[in-house]
């Protein structure tokens, strides 16, 4: 039994539309699940990019007279390593931060809100310099923001 010519054409058109819809839906799902399963650490660019961000941050600190004074007696290599592991940890990367709690690490430095904001600005600028997207930058800063209370606790 054969279908009339007109029906065949309509039928084929309909099948094409259904296939296109399924393909678009599947592509959407794949895209969505890829976004959901990607950690912030990966979106930041992994350890290589985090290490470069920290290095870039060090240059910005060195150029900022208001901030650099706090680092006069700091072992910069250890600080860089410790901060990089903290950023990796906080962004769900494979590291565990094993340094001192934020309160103790910053105790009696005389830090003010202005210093805190300045450091956050430098970190954001360092991330921008590495081409990290706005969403990932904001998410990392959002995860660091709750540390404010601890950093300031023993000033
Ligand atoms: C959310 C904000 C901050 C975070 C996440 C952070 C993170 C860290 C980390 C991970 C360390 C290394 C601790 C260690 O291993 O001994 C550290 C140390 C240090 N931080 Fe921060 N910090 C923040 C705010 C600030 C601010 C605002 C300043 C000053 C402007 C500052 C100045 C220092 C200095 C000078 C050290 C080294 C202390 C030492 O020599 O032992 N930090 N910070």
ipTM: 0.98
For residue 106, say whether it is annotated as part of any ligand binding site: yes
Please tell me whether residue 131 adopts helix, strand or coil conformation.
coil
Ligand 1 geometric centre to CA of 106 (Å): 6
119 touches ligand 1 (CB under 6 Å): yes
- pLDDT at position 36, please? 57
Ligand 1 geometric centre to CA of 131 (Å): 24
Ligand 1 geometric centre to CA of 9 (Å): 70
Residues of the chain with pLDDT under 50: 1-4, 6-7, 10-34
Ligand 1 geometric centre to CA of 145 (Å): 13
For Cα atoms 60, 103, 154, give the angle at the middle one, nearest 5 degrees: 100
Q: Buried b / exposed e across 122-132, counting CB within 10 Å, b at 16+?
A: bbbebbeebeb
Please tell me whether residue 134 adopts helix, strand or coil conformation.
helix
82 touches ligand 1 (CB under 6 Å): yes
Which residues, at least 6 apart from 53, have a Cβ–Cβ distance to it below 8 Å? Answer: 44, 87, 123, 126, 127, 129, 130, 132
95 touches ligand 1 (CB under 6 Å): no
115 touches ligand 1 (CB under 6 Å): yes
- pLDDT at position 136, please? 98
Which residues, at least 6 apart from 57, have a Cβ–Cβ distance to it below 8 Å? Answer: 83, 122, 123, 126
């Amino acid at each position: 039994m054969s279908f009339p010519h007109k029906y065949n054409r309509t039928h084929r058109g309909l099948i094409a539309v259904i296939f296109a819809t399924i393909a678009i839906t599947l592509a959407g799902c794949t895209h969505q699940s890829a976004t959901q399963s990607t950690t912030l650490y990966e979106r930041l660019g992994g350890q290589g990019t985090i290490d470069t961000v920290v290095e870039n941050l060090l240059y910005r600190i060195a150029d900022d007279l208001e901030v650099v004074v706090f680092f006069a007696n700091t072992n910069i290599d250890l600080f860089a390593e410790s901060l990089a592991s903290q950023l990796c940890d906080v962004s769900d990367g494979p590291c565990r931060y094993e340094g001192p709690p934020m309160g103790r690490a910053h105790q009696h430095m005389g830090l003010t809100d202005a210093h805190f904001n300045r450091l956050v600005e430098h970190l954001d600028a360092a991330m921008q310099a590495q081409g990290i997207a706005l969403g990932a930058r904001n998410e990392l800063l959002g995860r660091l923001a709750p540390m404010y209370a601890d950093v300031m606790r023993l000033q």
